[in-house]
Each structure stands twice: as structure tokens, then as C-alpha cells.
């Protein structure tokens, strides 16, 4: 059975992919859950038109992400937090704190796009900002005590 996926499904495919699935999986799970629709001739034509129109929007988003990536690449942000005498901080540095520090520097970045290691001590750390599908920027985070 051929279906058009309406959302990303692990081990099956990505949104708007036309995939071949077993009849029972498509009929009993994907279609009733609203995760896919049957790949009829008219649905495939509508999908092609949607992809064409979305292409223009995606090009603009990609150009914006590339411009932001060039500005962000290699930048350093400083986050001040309370720490003990051994250099271990109380709590940890979250992606929300990183996003707020970037916002103070003039970069509007969603916190869900920031990937960093668990930061629990004072020092310098690296983080990645996933701006688009294949566009990332590496930033440096300096954690200092208050």
C-alpha cells in the first residue's frame, strides 16, 4: 500500500514522502491516526503542488539560516551563575539560558535548536545551534561564577 506521510515517522520516512507500507500498518494505524493518507492520483498531484509552493518558502528560510549561521559561527557567550568553591555550579546551564544569552547579543534563536553537553561546572563549553536541516553554527559558552 502506498501512502503519503503527513509527519515524520521513525523508521518509515519523513513528511510528504510517498512510501510503501504493509496494508495492515497503513489501514489500521497510519491512516486512522492521521499520520498518513492514501496515495491516490489526485493526492499525488496536490502533494506535487504543495511541494512546489513550499520550495519558495524553504529557499527564503534557508538563506536566512545561512546568514544567521555566518554571524553566529565562532561567537562566544558568557553566562554568570552561582557556583561552589570547587567550581561546581548549583544546578546546570540549560538551553533556555543559552538562548537568553544569545538574545541579549541580538541573535533570536529557539532554545529547542540548541544542542549542548550537560554543563555543571565553570569553564568553556561548545554548543551547536541547528538552524536548518543541514545548517549548524558552533558557538562557545563561557560559564563564570557570580
SS3 10: coil
pLDDT at site 55: 87
CB 90 within 8 A of CB 84: yes
pLDDT at site 146: 82
With a cut of 90, say whether residue 133 has pLDDT above it: no
pLDDT at site 74: 85
Domain ranges of the chain: 2-62, 69-145
Quick one: which H or E segment has residue 102? helix 95-104
Confidence (pTM): 0.67
Mean pLDDT rounded to a whole number for the chain: 92
Q: Taken in order 100, 101, 107, 111, is the CA torsion positive or negative?
A: negative
pLDDT at site 85: 87
CATH superfamily of 2-62: Ribosomal protein L9, N-terminal domain (3.40.5.10)
CATH fold of 69-145, please? Ribosomal Protein L9; domain 2 (3.10.430)
Q: Per residue in 14-70, pLDDT tens? A: 899 999 999 999 999 999 999 999 999 999 999 999 989 888 888 998 999 999 999
pLDDT at site 81: 92
2-62 shares its CATH topology with 69-145? no
With a cut of 90, say whether residue 78 has pLDDT above it: yes
Per-residue pLDDT averaged across 124-145, rounded? 91
Amino acid at each position: 500500500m502506498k501512502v503519503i506521510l503527513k509527519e515524520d515517522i521513525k523508521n518509515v520516512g519523513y513528511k510528504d514522502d510517498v512510501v510503501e507500507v504493509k496494508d495492515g500498518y497503513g489501514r489500521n494505524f497510519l491512516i486512522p491516526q492521521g499520520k498518513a493518507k492514501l496515495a491516490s492520483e489526485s493526492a499525488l498531484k496536490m502533494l506535487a503542488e504543495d511541494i512546489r509552493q513550499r520550495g519558495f518558502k524553504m529557499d527564503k528560510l534557508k538563506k536566512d539560516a545561512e546568514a544567521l549561521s555566518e554571524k553566529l559561527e565562532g561567537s562566544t557567550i558568557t553566562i554568570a551563575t552561582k557556583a561552589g568553591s570547587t567550581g561546581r555550579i548549583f544546578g546546570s546551564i540549560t538551553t533556555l539560558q543559552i538562548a537568553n544569552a544569545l538574545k541579549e547579543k541580538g541573535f533570536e534563536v529557539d532554545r529547542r535548536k540548541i544542542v549542548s553537553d550537560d554543563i555543571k561546572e565553570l569553564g568553556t563549553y561548545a554548543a551547536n545551534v541547528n538552524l536548518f536541516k543541514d545548517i549548524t553554527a558552533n558557538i562557545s559558552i563561557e560559564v563564570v561564577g557570580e
